[in-house]
Structure 1
Amino acid sequence: MLVNTAIAPLWYAVLGAAVLNGLAGLIWSILALGLSPYLEALFDLVTPIRLAELSNPNRPLLKRLADEAPGTFQHTLFVATLAEAAARALNCNVELVRAGVLHHDIGKMHDPLGFIENQMGGINKHDVINDPWKSAEIIKKHVSEGLVMARQHKLPSAIQAFIPEHQGTILIAYFYQQAQQQQQNPEKVLHESDFRYDGPIPQSKETGIAILADACEAALRSLKDATPEAALAMVNKILKARWQDNQLVDSGLTRAEMSQIAHIFVQVWQQFHHQRIAYPKL
């Protein structure tokens, strides 16, 4: 009886301490969840929870993109699918890649009809402008305008990096070639730099994957009855062009990973363009 009487206060003390520690842990957890958005903003951090929020297509900025530039939004979704698959295979930050790619073209909202995917078969405004220098400026401006929008919406710098780096310093080849054809005009001096994006080139594997997925998206989408071998040859050609243009020297991507990315892109394309059974007519 004496033993039981002595043990009882000890159990009460242990139980009381456990309850207090549990309550303290619960309170600190609630505080941490409540403060995390402010800490992320203060220290410019990206957590998996924050990236998941930014990837929600119902967020105001992405809903605006879908409404104002629907072609660009569809392009973005396919680029994100390609980039995610490659990022997963290369053990990169998949959540960062998805969130970054979903915002990489938000700047096209400054002039949606300046980009062919939003013209829906209508008049091409660049044909009306008939000035490759002005057209190149419109195309390039989607990067600077995108950065302005990203800052206004307080996107983390890790997400903002996708906006300029997904284009690097690549040449806007279509309008550069058009300018070459108009060189008969002595008032127009042709400088290649006028037709290149301002950069920087990709500084991480994640943005490196983005520039490759962005380059391959339209080409893959345009393929209808091509064989996987033909699709792979085309993708390899595009990736090789980016490599030879020194767009990936700071990304950390290797030649072996480039080959792996090419195969992954074609696999994703096959999933989207698989053959269907020809059903008999009723």
Structure 2
Amino acid sequence: MDKKLSIKVISNACGVLPHTIRTWERRYQTFSPERSASGQRLYSQDDLARARLIVLLIGHGFSISQISDHSLEDLKEAVSDLVQEIDESSFMIKRGCQNLFEFIENYSVENIAKEIEYLRLSLGARDFIFHVILPVMREIGILVSKGKYSVSQEHIISSIMRAQLALLNLPNLGNEDQSVILATPEGNLHELSILIADVLCRIHRTSTVYLGASHPADCLTKALNALKAKTVVLGVLSSDKWDFEKKITGYLKEMDQLLDHEITLVLGGVSKTSKSTVVDLPKYKKIKSIHYLNNFEEFEEFLIERVR
């Protein structure tokens, strides 16, 4: 006899909230669970198997609307095809990144641009970010800090990465009332981080208003007041030109004094638990909550939780 499973069991096994499973049922008729005498949902083992495969496919770019009506066999076939694609993509990414470092070594700017463009066109936007841009820029930063690459080499590839990100040209969807504002404080020129954040917002159907880098506190706040922005993402990665610990308290204090409404603030590029970035920020009147996000995986989690 097929043992029946509660929604909590399905949720825990798949790593998705019960609310999400109920939404799939209501909107897409993904499951048709039986009901107990008390009205609780009862799922089959096949439902559990389908749910696991659906979560796996969604994690690799499928939408629930694309696969909600797939049978268990259809889902298994889709996953099998995906595994083959992943193997091919992994080889392509590895080879492409090896080529990039060879081209950077020789200052071959044209070849760097061609290789990055090829990877952008061959991969989905999320894979391009997480498997090319972030690991390559992280490794470049390490090599620069060790003196093996020059700052000029870092700037060359960074500028090309920014240009290729702009060419992704994803639609700016989502509720405009819930738009995320993206900027960096005055003196902080790390624009690549907020460009990546902008793309991730669009992938997750979150509307954005991209304001760019290096905003004085009064100018940024004037824009936030005009836009009635409720969520603001500040890229605050420290550099030799901009020190988070020294700058952030005064910057946020000035913002808070000038804001005419409450906001949620995301500080990207810092960890609340890291000894190197811990700053005891005071309580603010208008900045009601502050989220410290150390990496883009955490930023994606923030976006997902935000729309639930």
Q: Which has the higher helix share?
A: 1
TM band (smaller chain): under 0.3
Q: Which has the higher strand share?
A: 2
> Relative contact order: is structure 1 or structure 2 higher (C-alpha 8 Å, sep ≥ 6)?
1
Q: What TM-score results when the alignment is normalised by the length of structure 1?
A: 0.28
Structure number with bigger Rg: 1
